């Protein structure tokens, strides 16, 4: 981004997980997985993405039989190029596949040994794998259990010290194995929402992993970056000794506890470097000695050393006006993190890697709360006053611009 991964924007971001078109889905069904024969029935649940005509033939010249309202759920019987045969209001006809979106199927799979299962109702825990076997206890709804064994529709679990059997159909698979990869849904509102268990990275280039022992999702989280432990996610994914599930810089993943400390060791003194020197470094790969922590920020966010003095002055003025410190969401961001955002969010939300001032530590993002929004009192004050301290809100980010961002400020001092 110009600025940051904002979860609000992430919601609008084009997502790779958007359901495929009906044409693709239908094509995939043309060859039956079982028989290999072409022409197997392609029954598919879809939803109309617009008001569209039901026609007598798979052609725009086909007679209009009905108007299908946007949002209607339909079942596709067969397909022809660009057209899907559906039934609506008692009539069978053809609708343009371009306005039909596949509705994802219920993909719940049978639970297996080693899976983590979540109870979907309160369940009887039975001595044996049978509904007539003696009940040992009641397992609460929404508990998460490791499945020890499975047997004909039953799963063996341990609940509150008792081992027994529950009906597998009431267990929803939440993880395949401990320490697995978790994708956070985009509703998540902030890095740290509700999380207070805070650590700092103590290793330069601390790795954030997609899954324990899995491939690395984000490398080089710089030393002295704050991360928040998410125990709920650990429970969901299956906890692994020596690893914790964290959120940092708008992302999440697993980190080794050996790479984490309870305190930041970063200096809060500006040091001797000039902006020119920092800008001479590779974006997102600023040497640690050129980064300093913002002392009054509770996360001790890292920023380019030469930008700190003016940020401190800006904060002093802000505090005088509003009675509290400026809130900082993000400042320095590594190249690896920028790359990860680019892959995940694409060009509408993420800045092209290597181009954001965050990669030099010469930009800050304040939060996306109301007071920091275009209409908010903090933004208005910052917009009017920050330039006195060599921090600017650039014109391209103004309200109404396609790149509008209220929360991003750049350092233009020396």
The least distance separating Zn ion from the CB of residue 9, rounded to whole angstroms, comes to 11
Give residues with Cβ within 8 angstroms of 147, minimum separation 6: 111, 112, 113, 114, 115, 116, 117, 155, 156, 157, 171
By C-beta, is 4 or 156 nearer to Zn ion?
4
Half-sphere exposure of 219 (CA within 13 A, CB side): 7
Segment near Zn ion (CB under 5 A), from 28-36, 211-219, 367-375, 400-408? 400-408
Shortest Cβ 5–Zn ion spacing (Å): 9
Q: Is 278 helix (H, G, I), strand (E, B) or coil?
A: helix
Task: Find the shortest distance in angstroms from Cβ 75 to Zn ion.
Answer: 46
Q: Which is nearer to Zn ion, 68 or 314 (CB)?
A: 314
Piece in contact with Zn ion (CB under 5 A), picked from 17-25, 229-237, 336-344, 404-412? 404-412
Lay out the site mask for Zn ion across 118-137 (x = CB under 5 A, - = otherwise). --------------------
Tell me if 115 sits within 8 A of 175, measured CB to CB: yes
Tell me the number of residues near Zn ion by CB under 5 A.
4
CB 357, min distance to Zn ion, A: 8
- 4 vs 201, which CB is nearer to Zn ion? 4
Contact 333, 263 (CB under 8 A): no
Is position 3 an interface residue for Zn ion (rule: CB under 5 A)? yes
- The stretch near Zn ion (CB under 5 A) out of 195-203, 281-289, 362-370, 388-396 is 362-370
**To the nearest whole angstrom, how small is the minimum distance from the Cβ of residue 345 to Zn ion?**
13
Chain residue at closest Cβ approach to Zn ion: 3
| Cβ closest to Zn ion, residue 226 vs residue 351 | 351
Binding mask 42-71 for Zn ion (x = CB under 5 A): ------------------------------
Q: State the nearest-atom distance from the C-beta of 195 to Zn ion, in Å.
A: 22
408 binds Zn ion (CB under 5 A): yes
Q: Name 169's Cβ contacts closer than 8 Å, sequence gap at least 6.
A: 153
Contact stretch for Zn ion (CB under 5 A) within 112-120, 229-237, 358-366, 379-387: 358-366
293 binds Zn ion (CB under 5 A): no
User: What residues have CB less than 8 Å from 24, skipping those under 6 apart?
Assistant: none
* Cβ atoms of residues 99 and 52 within 8 Å: yes
DSSP letter assigned to residue 168: G
For Zn ion, the closer CB: 6 or 85: 6
Q: What angle do CA 193, 194, 200 make, to 5 degrees?
A: 75
Per-residue mark of binding to Zn ion, 317-356 (x: CB under 5 A): ----------------------------------------
Which residues, in sequence order, are CB contacts of 319 under 8 Å at separation 6+?
A: 325, 326
Query: Given candidates 4, 249, 337, 362, which one binds Zn ion under the rule CB under 5 A?
Result: 4
Residue 4 C-beta: closest distance to Zn ion, Å: 5
3-state secondary structure of 227: strand
Span near Zn ion by CB under 5 A; candidates 115-123, 136-144, 339-347, 359-367: 359-367
Q: Work out how close the CB of 176 gets to Zn ion at its nearest, in angstroms, rounded to a whole number.
A: 36
Alpha-carbon 241 to chain mean position: 24
* Residue 203 contacts residue 259 (beta carbons within 8 Å): yes
315: left (phi over 0), alpha (psi -120 to 50) or beta: alpha
Q: Check: CB of residue 36 under 8 Å from CB of residue 27.
A: no
Site string for Zn ion, 365-394 (x = CB under 5 A): x-----------------------------
Q: Based on C-alpha coordinates, what's the Rg of the chain? A: 27
CA distance 121 to 150: 19
Q: How far is the CB of 342 from Zn ion (least distance, A)?
A: 14
By the 10 Å C-beta count (0-12 exposed, 13-18 middle, 19+ buried), 235 is classed as middle
Helix (H) or strand (E) holding 237: helix 231-237
User: Shortest Cβ distance from residue 226 to Zn ion (Å)?
Assistant: 17
Which residues contact Zn ion by CB under 5 A? 3-4, 365, 408
């Amino acid at each position: 981004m110009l600025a940051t991964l904002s979860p609000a924007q992430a919601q609008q971001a084009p997502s790779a997980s958007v359901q495929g078109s009906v044409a693709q889905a239908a094509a995939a069904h043309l060859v039956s997985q079982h028989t290999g024969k072409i022409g197997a029935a392609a029954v598919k649940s879809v939803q109309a993405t617009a008001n569209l005509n039901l026609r007598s033939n798979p052609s725009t010249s086909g007679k209009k039989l009905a108007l299908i309202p946007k949002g209607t759920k339909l079942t596709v019987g067969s397909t022809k190029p660009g057209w899907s045969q559906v039934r609506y209001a008692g009539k069978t006809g053809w609708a343009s596949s371009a306005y039909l979106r596949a509705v994802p199927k219920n993909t719940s799979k049978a639970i297996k040994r080693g899976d983590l299962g979540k109870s979907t109702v309160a369940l009887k825990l039975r001595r044996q794998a049978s509904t007539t076997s003696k009940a040992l206890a009641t397992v609460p709804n929404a508990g998460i259990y490791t499945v020890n064994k499975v047997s004909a529709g039953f799963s063996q679990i341990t609940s509150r010290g008792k081992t027994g059997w529950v009906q597998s159909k009431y267990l929803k698979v939440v993880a395949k194995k401990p320490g697995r990869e978790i994708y956070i849904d985009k509703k998540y509102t902030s890095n740290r929402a509700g999380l207070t268990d805070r650590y700092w990275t103590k290793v330069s280039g601390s790795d954030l992993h997609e899954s324990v022992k899995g491939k690395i999702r984000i490398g080089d989280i710089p030393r002295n970056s704050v991360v928040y432990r998410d125990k709920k996610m650990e429970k969901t994914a299956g906890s692994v000794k020596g690893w914790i599930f964290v959120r940092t810089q708008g992302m999440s993943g697993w980190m080794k506890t050996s790479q984490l400390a309870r305190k930041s060791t970063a200096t809060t003194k500006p040091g001797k470097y000039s902006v020119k020197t920092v800008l001479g470094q590779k974006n997102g790969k600023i040497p640690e000695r050129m980064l300093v922590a913002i002392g009054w920020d509770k996360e001790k966010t890292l920023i380019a050393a030469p930008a700190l003095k003016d940020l401190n002055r800006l904060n002093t003025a802000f505090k005088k006006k509003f009675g509290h410190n400026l809130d900082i969401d993000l400042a320095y961001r590594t190249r690896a993190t920028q790359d990860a955002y680019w892959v995940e969010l694409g060009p509408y939300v993420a800045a092209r890697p290597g181009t954001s001032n965050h990669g030099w530590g010469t930009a800050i993002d304040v939060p996306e709360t109301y007071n920091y929004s275009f209409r908010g009192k903090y933004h208005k004050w910052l917009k009017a006053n920050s330039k006195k301290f060599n921090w600017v809100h650039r014109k391209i980010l103004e309200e109404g611009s396609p790149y509008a961002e209220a929360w991003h400020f750049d350092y233009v001092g020396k």
